Amino acid sequence: SAVISQKPSRDICQRGTSLTIQCQVDSQVTMMFWYRQQPGQSLTLIATANQGSEATYESGFVIDKFPISRPNLTFSTLTVSNMSPEDSSIYLCSVADSRGYTFGSGTRLTVV
């Protein structure tokens, strides 16, 4: 399966600021996704990161709050904008290809 490097692993941020999370994949993959896991909850899909075009967002998530870039088939970023304490969560990227499904190690975000 693919190998994903996700950075940062954790961060503590002030409210009102933004944080950009990066995921680097060791091979080209078509399908790349971003998930959020709120404290004590399961994972919820934020969006599909599309290479060369705008991301496709799930219900309840908007581009202004979670802008996503996908400049090529091995890299994507998720920005959490204008953060509030409610954004404190684990954010994970994921890829799916013929070899299976792989998740990044996650970014634990705490907003104070």
Partner 1 sequence: SQQGEEDPQALSIQEGENATMNCSYKTSINNLQWYRQNSGRGLVHLILIRSNEREKHSGRLRVTLDTSKKSSSLLITASRAADTASYFCATDSTDSWGKLQFGAGTQVVVTP
Output 44 or 84, the one with its CB closest to partner 1: 44
Residue 37 near partner 1 by CB under 8 A: yes
Report residue 87: phi and psi, to 5°: -85, -5
DSSP string, 16-85: T--EEEEEEESS--SEEEEEEE-TTS-EEEEEEEPTTS--EEPTT--TTTS-EEEEETTEEEEEE-S--G
Output 10 or 16, the one with its CB closest to partner 1: 10
Q: Which x/- pattern over 72-111 shows residues binding partner 1 (rule: CB under 8 A)?
A: ------------------x-x-x-x---xxxxxxx-x---
Q: Which residues bind partner 1 (CB under 8 A)?
A: 31, 33, 35, 37, 39, 41-45, 48, 59, 90, 92, 94, 96, 100-106, 108
